[in-house]
Amino acid sequence: MRLNHVTLIVTELRRSLRFYRALGLVPIVHEPPRYARLQSPDGDWTLSIEVTGEAALPPRVQLYFECEALDERVALLRAVGLQFHQLPTDMDYLWREARLSDPDGHELRLYRAGPNRLDPPWKINPADVPD
């Protein structure tokens, strides 16, 4: 099984599209005023943004974007006007992480984890997890 994409419910397509393009995602579908889909420049995963007209709920999603050159990427994003509420910080779970929010309040974390992404020191054996 492979994750294809995630869709974020947003309130204003144009504003959200500008934000995610500033992060470096590339539009591949654009159906204003309701929907857009963007592809990662570094892989085949995609992110959709959609205006549904549903009542806005407090965002409950966190998106993680892995960046090998995290500090440099954050500096570039700050230079184009994106605001971070946490600059790159070494976290106790062995990732270096910066945090910001998109225009609808969805939390984004840009990080560099190296080998700790899939193989942290506390990694478990899946067979040890009960059904």
pLDDT in tens, 43-69: 889 999 999 987 667 777 899 999 999
With CA atoms as reference, report the closest residue to 10 among 64, 63, 59. Answer: 59
122's CB contacts (< 8 A; 6+ apart) are none
Q: What is the mean pLDDT of the chain?
A: 92
**Could you give the CA distance from residue 25 to residue 9 in angstroms, rounded to a whole number?**
17
- Mean predicted confidence (pLDDT) in 67-81: 96
What residue ranges define each of the domains in the chain, with the CATH number in brackets?
1-52 (3.30.720.120), 61-121 (3.30.720.110)
Q: Are 38 and 22 in contact (CB under 8 A)?
A: no
How confident is the model over 32-49, as pLDDT tens digits? 999 999 999 988 899 999
Query: pTM of the prediction?
Result: 0.86
Distance CA 31, CA 96 (A): 36
Q: Which two tokens stand for residue 13?
A: 């397509």
